[in-house]
Copies of this chain bind each other. A is one copy, B any other.
């Protein structure tokens, strides 16, 4: 399996580190991803993390815009300036910075969520809530009649 799937919750240690789940690490290795880049999700209170190609994909969406437009300027501010580098230590752990904590509400535990080509960091309860909300919304769409 070379895509990010499933989810797992790990604890943050006294130094603010958390282990990336082993399945995710092996996906990173298979995909030869050396550098990790993370940024705030546009919709959910979660940090999305992926390799350089994830960044490029988003930039390509930007590329269609007028380079001088205010919109392109704003998106560049979000994507280029709003992101952070994430480095794994030799054991495959990453630092949970204040930047990540304040945006996600993460305190002591992190839920890693696979999103196929990238994965996300969530505050555990927030993930459960969002999942629940998504399920309800889907049911409403599938069976509009009460």
Q: A residues near B, CB below 8 A?
A: 1, 3-7, 23, 35, 37, 40, 42-44, 52, 55, 61, 67-68, 70-71, 73-78, 80-85, 113-116, 120, 127, 130-131, 133-135, 137-139, 141-142
Contact = CB atoms under 8 A, between A and B. Distances in A.
B6 A77 contact: no
Contact of A81 (B37, B61, B81, B115): B115
B139 A42 contact: yes
A3 B5 CA distance: 25
A71 B77 CA distance: 23
A42 B77 CA distance: 13
Candidate in A78, A81, A142 with the most chain B CB atoms within 10 angstroms: A81
Given A4-B80, A7-B81, A80-B114, A134 B35 contact: no
Contact of A78 (B23, B74, B134): B134
Candidate in A74, A115, A130 with the most chain B CB atoms within 10 angstroms: A74
Contacts of A115: 76-77, 80-81
Contacts of A71: 137, 141
Nearest to A122: B81
A46 to B, nearest CB: 9
